[in-house]
Structure 1
Amino acid sequence: MYTPHTFRTGANAYTRVGVETRAMSASPHQLIVMLFDGVATSIGLARHHMASGDMLAKGKAISKAINIVDNGLKAGLDARAAGHSGEELVGNLSALYDYVIRRLLHANLHNEPKGLDEAEALLENIASAWREIGGGHAGN
């Protein structure tokens, strides 16, 4: 018998396969845009769970956002590939990602939506630049 849980589990599996398939065929640029989209989704979920009082789900969503920033966006920075002129930019982005992580941790610990808003706004500034480079969406 199908239950709401069965449908939710199936939908999650379908979504996961779709994301994995897109990631496998994506260019490096598209992967970066996907990471920004993923962190924005996680922050949005955290905001929703914070407002509804679901602290466990809020913590999971914030942890996922932190993981994407730290192990995706920040780990993908490469000062050597950026060359001498790009080293400063890479350093600045690394520091910004560290700051975003601290704001997300603070928002989680203090149940503070302002921290989520600030992290989201900072990341969106960078994400919009990546989207512009690719012509407006991750499909380019």
Structure 2
Amino acid sequence: MLAQNAYQQYKEKSIQTASPEELTLMLYNGLVKFIMRGIDAVEKNKTEEAHNNIIRAQDIIQEFMATLDKKYEIAASLELLYDYMLRRLIEANTHKDSAILGEVLDMAKQLRDTWEQAMKLAKHPRKMPELVEQAK
């Protein structure tokens, strides 16, 4: 019990002290985690567990959509992508379809990995050519 309480406090402190970029990465990691849990639950025929995890993934996508900064051109493209992902999650939840969840998981992982690379580039702009080469 004490260990769990300490972990919860650590987690809360991490969130409170995180930069906006780190919070976004945490959300992407949460999205990936909940979709993976949803896939596992669907495959194990645990309907309620699948539903709850897919709903949590949907909530994260809706948060991304609500917080898009529309002054940037990329926001329109991200909004379309998030809308598609949200609709696919709803469909996956309705039909308990792990293949659809797998499709959305791939997109979520790509978004997370891209965000992580962008954070690295922002911290070390001189290493940009090296990181771009690694990404190829």
Paired residue for 1:34? 26
Matched, 1:116 2:83: no
CA RMSD across the alignment = 2.0
Counterparts of 1:125 and 1:40 in 2: how far apart (Å)?
Answer: 10
Paired residue for 1:90? 75
Q: How many pairs align?
A: 121
Which of 73, 76, 95 is residue 67 of structure 2 equivalent to? 76
Paired residue for 1:3? none
Matched, 1:135 2:115: no
Deviation at 1:14, TM superposition (A): 4.8
| TM-score of the superposed pair, with normalisation by structure 2 | 0.80
Paired residue for 1:47? 39
Counterparts of 2:67 and 2:8 in 1: how far apart (Å)?
Answer: 22
Work out the percentage of aligned pairs sharing the same amino acid.
24
Deviation at 1:117, TM superposition (A): 0.7
| TM-score of the superposed pair, with normalisation by structure 1 | 0.78
Contact 2:88 2:104 (C-alpha < 8 Å) held by counterparts? yes
Distance 1:100 1:60, change over 3 A: same
Which of 55, 58, 68 is residue 63 of structure 1 equivalent to? 55
Counterparts of 2:13 and 2:69 in 1: how far apart (Å)?
Answer: 25
Deviation at 1:15, TM superposition (A): 4.5
**Structure 1 alignment gaps of length 5 or more:** 1-6
